Amino acid sequence: MTFAPQSVGKAANPFASAFGISCITVFVLLVAFLSALGVSVLPMVLVAGASIFLWLLFHNPIGSLGLFLAFMPVYTLAFLLAKFFGPSYIGALEGGERVLLLFLIFILWRRNGVELTTPDWFLMAGFALAILRLAFDGSLIGLLTDFNFVIAYAAGRVAMLTATQQNRWAQRAVWIVAILSVLGMGEVFVVGEAPRTLLYLSAANGGTEGQRLDAAFHADGYSGLRESATMFGPLQFAPLCMAALIVWWVYCRNPLPAAVIAAGLICSVTRSAWLGTPVAIVTLAVVMGQKKRLLLYAGLVLALFLGSIPILGLDDYIFSTKTGKDPSAQSHQESLFGGLEYVSTHAFGVGPGNVGKYAVKDNKNAIGIENTYLTLAAEYGIPTCLCFGAFLLTVLQVLWREPTPLSYSAIGIVVGFGTVMIFAALHDVFPLACWLWFPVGLAIRSSVDVRARQKIAE
């Protein structure tokens, strides 16, 4: 069902501009006066900022959504810095970004409506089974964290972008990640890990072990710092680079941002994304008929990777990986086999939050499975995991018949991140989910709208 507001022509108020300028002037003077008296003006600034953003949400929801998505890759670091420098109540705002996006989704849904399709039904069925499992055991926060990617997907399902807007989104997304890659390499090669260590020890819930960054920021056989840029860690940053490279492959031709992003991906030293990226790009090259282009860029990337080995000191890391003596790879393998065994004995799950990241935080002896599919099966049961798998497959089925740049991007993201999820449970990282699942939902929306217009034409 589609809801759309009635457009009513209204004459412009000649006093509106003067009134707005007067309000801004009064606010600035009030802030300056309170600051001179030594009164904290941060609450007023936050309220004013929230009010302005709400005004933007109603008057330009698509523009607001674009700003929201552009900010999400830097949100994690920005929020931690706000907690570090700001008052104590900043921490209570954690999770507010999800509420904000839900509010924006509601506005867009009222304007554009949404027609549910096969992937939506499978996703809703999986979520319903997860809620049913929560009724017996588990934590609500665990459920909401596991399924927060649905919010990003829903944002794409209710958004409507023209081809020009899609191209603009793609170009900006690629350059945003390219800039973040450069900044991240500055941390790796110039700044070092001391500032991030201090920040995480003071403001983050996790990311450190003892008085230093935990093992996720380093690797066996690699003595350097793995690049994280503005994401929480390298495991979160690498799939962001993967998504940007997929979008670049479909929408762009300038090799400069791709080279910078690829360098950032290499510096993340994250094998799951190293595997997911070529799987996605090869799939797209075959589907789009770009095999010659694939061979050209494959050679360039290989040269970039070989050149980075002595610079980053990856010799021992690669050698241990080739010989199978890497403790990290062995740990992944043990986690996968252990997860399979655990799921086979807990076919209906043990409840959200009782397996995975939340469980390991509270209990070091808890089960942590480095695989999204097995994690969902262990928490909510095999039927929920099957619904999630069916959701991914039906997304590919729907989009495969639509030869558009947006569909190609979504196919690449599903294939690439679907591969990453075999080796890492990253489905619950909301800033990353916004960049992965929004274009997937947007592509499904576009496909449904095209078929609806075709039916009307017939």
| pLDDT score recorded for residue 290 | 93
Per-residue pLDDT for 2 more than 60? no
Sequence-distant (≥ 6) Cβ neighbours of residue 355 within 8 angstroms: 342, 366, 367, 368, 369, 375, 378, 379
Q: Residue count of the chain, please give it.
A: 458
| Of the candidate ranges 42-51, 77-86, 204-213, 231-240, the one whose mean pLDDT is the lowest | 42-51
pTM of full prediction above 0.85: yes
Higher pLDDT, 208 or 410: 410
Q: Are 255 and 248 in contact (CB under 8 A)?
A: no
Q: Are 323 and 315 in contact (CB under 8 A)?
A: no
Per-residue pLDDT for 1 more than 50? no
Residue 264: pLDDT band (50, 70, 90) is: very high
Residue 23: pLDDT band (50, 70, 90) is: low
Per-residue pLDDT for 15 more than 70? no
Mean of per-residue pLDDT scores for the chain? 86
Per-residue pLDDT for 86 more than 60? yes
Here the tokens at position 393 are: 């497959």
| pLDDT score recorded for residue 265 | 95
Residue 119 to residues 169, 233, 423, Cα–Cα distance (Å):
24, 31, 24
| pLDDT score recorded for residue 205 | 84
Between CA 52 and CA 41 the distance in angstroms is 16
Per-residue pLDDT for 8 more than 50? no
Q: Give residue-wise pLDDT tens across range 173-197.
A: 999 999 999 999 999 999 999 999 9
**For the residues 250-267, what does the mean pLDDT come to?**
94
Q: Give residue-wise pLDDT tens across range 107-139.
A: 999 999 999 999 999 999 999 999 999 999 889
Q: Give residue-wise pLDDT tens across range 308-366.
A: 888 887 777 776 766 666 667 777 787 888 889 989 998 999 999 888 777 777 666 67
| pLDDT score recorded for residue 12 | 44
| pLDDT score recorded for residue 243 | 97
Chain centroid, CA 75 distance in Å? 11
Per-residue pLDDT for 420 more than 50? yes
Between CA 455 and CA 394 the distance in angstroms is 21
Tokens 């920021």 sit on residue: 217
**For the residues 98-115, what does the mean pLDDT come to?**
92
